[in-house]
Amino acid sequence: MPFFDQIKEDLNKALKGKDALAQSVLRLLIAEIQNKRKEKRYKVFKEGMDEKELEEKTKLDEEEIGTIIFQEAKKRKDSIREFEKGRRDDLVQKEKAELSFLENYLPKQLTEDEIKKQVQEFIKETGEKDFGKVMSALMLKNKGRVDGALLSQVVRSELSGN
């Protein structure tokens, strides 16, 4: 089943089960996906293009939807940090619950040891010592499966020889 269809089906289940958290998160997620589709539609639209062709060219693939979910999870993590600074425990709990729910839709995240192994292998194979190049190559390779802050920390550590 395509990812977007699964999200819509889960929303229907949440509506039937009266799960307010799931309803809220899934509605927001669907809205973000639809906004991304509209954005893509405006970019590819050409005069004389029929609706079927336009629909086909603006369909989001699984990776694009995964990226949207990853971005939403990242927003929650950022909000949690800010709310913790502001000592807003009520909002911290809400954001943590939403993050936990979104993580069900994310691919399994790499552990620090897995990241370290990849960084070491990449440096050994390429001989690359430039932080930016190592980061961009590994972020691209592990799109949606790695936390950028953790990867950055590991890359810095490995490049400095620790």
Quote the pTM value. Answer: 0.73
Same domain, 88 and 9: yes
**Domain with 11 in it:** 3-103
CATH code, 33: 1.10.1510.10
User: Tokens at residue 84, please?
Assistant: 């913790």
- Do 156 and 79 fall within a single domain? no
- What's the domain count of the chain? 2
d(CA 72, CA 24) in angstroms, rounded, equals 13
Domain boundary, last residue among 85, 103, 121: 103
pLDDT tens, the chain, 162 aa long? 577 888 999 999 999 999 999 999 999 999 999 999 888 888 777 666 777 877 777 888 887 888 888 889 889 999 999 999 999 999 999 999 999 999 888 878 888 899 899 888 888 888 878 888 888 888 888 877 787 888 888 988 888 875
Separation between Cα atoms, residue 105 and residue 109, nearest integer Å: 11
Q: Which one of 80, 103, 126 terminates a domain?
A: 103
Which is nearest to 148 in space by CA: 82, 79, 62, 71?
71
